Amino acid sequence: MLDFIHHAAAARRAGLPTLLLLHGTGGDERSLLSVAEMILPDAAILSPRGKVLEHGMPRFFRRLAEGVFDLPDLHARTDELAAFVEAATAQYGLAGERLIAVGYSNGANMAGSLLLQHPTLLAGAVLLRAMVPFEPTQPPDLHGRRVLIAAGQFDSMVPAAQSHRLADLLTAYGAEVDFHTLPADHGLTNADLSLARSWLANV
Ligand code: MLT
C-alpha cells in the first residue's frame, strides 16, 4: 500500500505537527529535507516522490503545458496520494491528525489539490509558489485549516493573479489564509524560509 518511493522520519521532539513534504518538478523525496530542517527542526516527516515523469523529472501530476494541468490525471493522482498519506501516517505512527503539507511549485499545487479534494486530510499547508490546481464544482469545507501562501513578486511561472485567486478560493471555503508576496522569482529564498519558520511556530 505504501506505493510511493518516500522518505519518512519520526519526530525527535514531542508535540510538533508532521510535515508532508511535496517537491517541485525534477525534485525527489530528499529535495525538501533541508528546508524542513530549517523551518521546523525535529518534526516528523513524510516525503513522497511524485510518480509522474516529465522528461525524466518527477512530478505529482501530468501537465499539458507549463501551467496547464491535465485535470483527470490531477484528480486521480490527488486521490492516490491522499490514500498513500493515510496509510503511511498510520503505518509509521505519525501524527496524522496534525499533518501540515509543505509544497514547492508543483508540490504546492498538489498540496492545494489535496486541500480542495480531501479537505480533512491536512491541518494546514505551506504553499510556496502555488497556483490554483483546479476550481472545485462543490465547495469543500476548509474551516479550521490554516494556509500560508508565499508568492514571488518576480515569478515568471506563476502569475500574481493565480496566487491571489488561490488565496481567495481557500478563504471563501473557510481556511485561514496568510498571504505574502516576497521580492523573489520562482526559486525559494531565505525570506521564504524565515516566513515559513515563523508561521509554523504559531500554528
Ligand atoms: C506545475 O506544473 O505544477 C507548475 O507549472 C509548477 C511547476 O512544476 O513548474
The domain spans of the chain are 6-201
Is 47 one of the annotated active-site residues of the chain? no
Cell numbers linked to 146: 490554516
Q: Which atom of ligand 1 is nearest to the CA of 106?
A: 3
pLDDT in tens, 72-118: 999 999 999 999 999 999 999 997 679 999 999 999 999 999 999 99
Q: Exactly one of 6, 31, 47, 155 is catalytic; which is it? A: 155
Cα gap 24→28, rounded to integer Å: 8
Neighbours of 124 (CB within 10 A): 24
pTM exceeds 0.95: yes
Cα gap 16→11, rounded to integer Å: 8
Q: Which fold has domain 6-201?
A: Rossmann fold (3.40.50)
Q: Backbone phi, then psi, for 185, in 5-degree steps?
A: -100, -145
At 203, the pLDDT band (50, 70, 90 cuts) reads confident
The DSSP annotation for 51-80 comes to -EEETTEEESS-EEETTEE-HHHHHHHHHH
Cα gap 142→116, rounded to integer Å: 8
Q: Backbone phi, then psi, for 139, in 5-degree steps?
A: -70, 120
Q: Which atom of ligand 1 is nearest to the CA of 107?
A: 3
